[in-house]
C-alpha cells in the first residue's frame, strides 16, 4: 500500500470499527443495506462529515481489494453517498501568536530544546507532522539550507528551511545524545530518528501533537492549534506576504493546485492594506 503510516493507522482503525459494528448484524454483512446502516451509525455517533467520508473511503478501498482477490463479486460501497463536507477555512495563528508559540518552550532542558527545534522546523518548512516524525539527522542539509522529506505516497521532495530553524536544530543535535543515555525497558532506542523521546525512542506523531497543544496553551494563543495548524500558518503567512500560489503548492507537497487554493484566504488586516493602497478613493 503506497500510503503514509498515518493513513495506514487511520484506515486500520476505521476497518476495526466496522468489524465491531458487524458483530450485531445478521445476513450478508457486505450488503449495501448494512453499509447504509453503518453510515447512519456514524452520523448518530456524532462523527464529523469529513471523518465519515474518510471511514467510507477506507471501507470502499477494502471492499475493492476483496473484489480484486475474488472474495466479492462487486463492491457495494462503490458510488455510495456520503455527507457533503463543510468547507472550512484552515485554522491558523497570526504572526504574533506564532512568535509567542516559538518562544514558549524551556530553553534549558533537553526536552525543551527539542520542542523548540520541532516547532521551528514545522513553521519554517510547513511539513506534515507525519513527515517530521520520519526525519533523520541526515535529512537536514545545514550547508544548503534544505530538508529532504518523504511525503505522501513515499514521494520525496526538497524543502527550504530558515536560519532560525537550523540554529534550533543545531542546538538540539548537540544535546540529542543525552536522550540516548537514558534507555528504558520495553522502549526501543532509535538512533536513525531525528526527534527522540526522553528514552531515546522515535518521537511519534501523537506525542508531537500533545507537545504542540501544550505549548499552544502555554503561549496563550486565542486560536487552538495543532501541528497541522502550524502548516496552515506557514502557507497563510507566505501567501499574505505575496508568495506565488504554485510555489506554495510545491513547498506543501500538494499534487493538485486546488488543494492549495484553500489557503488563499487572507486576514482582514491584509485586505484593508491592499484596499488602502489600491483604491483611488480609499
**Nearest residue to 55 via CA among 96, 31, 19:** 19
d(CA 56, CA 62): 10
Distance CA 200, CA 120 (A): 21
- CB of 128 within 8 A of CB of 157? no
**d(Cα 141, Cα 108) in Å, to the nearest integer?**
25
**Catalytic residue flag (residue 78):** no
**Could you give the CA distance from residue 236 to residue 212 in angstroms, rounded to a whole number?**
19
User: Measured between alpha carbons, how far is 282 from 278 in angstroms, rounded to an integer?
Assistant: 8
Catalytic residue among 32, 228, 265, 270: 228
Which of 37, 152, 265, 270 is the catalytic position? 152
Q: Is 198 a catalytic residue?
A: no
Catalytic residue among 114, 128, 232, 237: 128
Contact between residue 32 and residue 79 where contact means Cβ atoms under 8 Å apart = no
Q: Is 148 helix (H, G, I), strand (E, B) or coil?
A: strand
Question: What sections of the chain are H helices per DSSP?
Answer: 5-22, 32-44, 49-68, 95-103, 110-125, 129-133, 163-175, 177-180, 205-219, 227-240, 245-252, 257-260, 268-278
CA distance 32 to 75: 9
Cα separation, 264 vs 89, in Å, equals 10
| 231 a catalytic residue | yes
36 flagged as catalytic: no
83, 43 contact by CB (below 8 A) = yes
The reply to whether 123 belongs to the active site is no
Catalytic one among 54, 60, 114, 231?
Answer: 231
Q: Is residue 11 flagged as an active site residue? A: no
Q: Are 149 and 206 in contact (CB under 8 A)?
A: no
Q: Could you list the active site residues?
A: 128, 152, 228, 231, 254, 263
Amino acid at each position: 500500500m503506497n500510503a503514509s503510516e498515518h493513513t495506514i493507522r487511520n484506515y486500520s482503525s476505521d476497518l476495526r470499527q466496522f468489524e465491531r459494528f458487524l458483530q450485531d448484524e445478521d445476513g450478508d454483512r457486505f450488503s449495501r443495506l448494512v453499509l447504509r446502516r453503518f453510515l447512519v451509525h456514524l452520523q448518530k455517533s456524532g462523527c464529523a462529515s469529513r471523518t465519515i467520508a474518510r471511514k467510507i473511503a477506507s471501507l470502499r478501498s477494502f471492499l475493492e481489494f476483496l473484489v480484486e482477490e475474488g472474495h466479492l463479486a462487486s463492491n457495494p460501497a462503490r458510488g455510495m453517498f456520503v455527507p457533503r463536507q463543510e468547507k472550512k477555512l484552515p485554522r491558523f495563528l497570526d504572526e504574533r501568536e506564532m512568535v509567542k508559540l516559538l518562544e514558549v518552550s524551556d530553553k534549558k532542558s533537553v526536552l525543551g530544546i527539542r520542542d523548540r527545534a520541532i516547532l521551528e522546523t514545522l513553521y519554517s518548512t510547513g511539513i506534515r507532522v507525519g513527515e517530521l516524525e520520519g526525519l533523520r539527522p541526515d535529512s537536514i542539509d545545514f550547508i544548503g539550507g534544505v530538508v529532504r522529506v518523504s511525503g505522501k505516497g513515499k514521494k520525496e521532495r526538497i524543502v527550504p528551511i530558515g536560519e532560525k530553524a537550523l540554529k534550533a536544530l543545531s542546538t538540539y543535535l548537540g544535546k540529542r545524545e543525552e536522550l540516548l543515555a537514558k534507555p528504558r525497558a520495553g522502549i526501543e532506542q532509535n538512533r536513525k530518528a531525528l526527534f527522540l523521546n526522553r528514552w531515546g525512542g522515535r518521537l511519534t506523531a501523537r506525542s508531537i501533537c500533545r507537545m504542540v497543544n501544550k505549548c499552544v496553551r502555554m503561549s496563550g494563543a486565542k486560536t487552538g492549534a495543532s501541528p497541522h495548524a502550524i502548516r496552515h500558518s506557514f502557507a497563510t503567512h507566505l501567501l499574505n506576504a505575496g508568495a506565488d500560489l504554485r510555489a506554495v503548492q510545491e513547498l506543501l507537497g500538494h499534487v493538485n493546485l486546488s488543494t492549495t487554493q484553500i489557503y488563499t484566504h487572507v486576514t482582514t488586516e491584509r485586505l484593508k492594506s491592499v484596499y488602502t493602497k489600491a483604491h483611488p478613493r480609499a
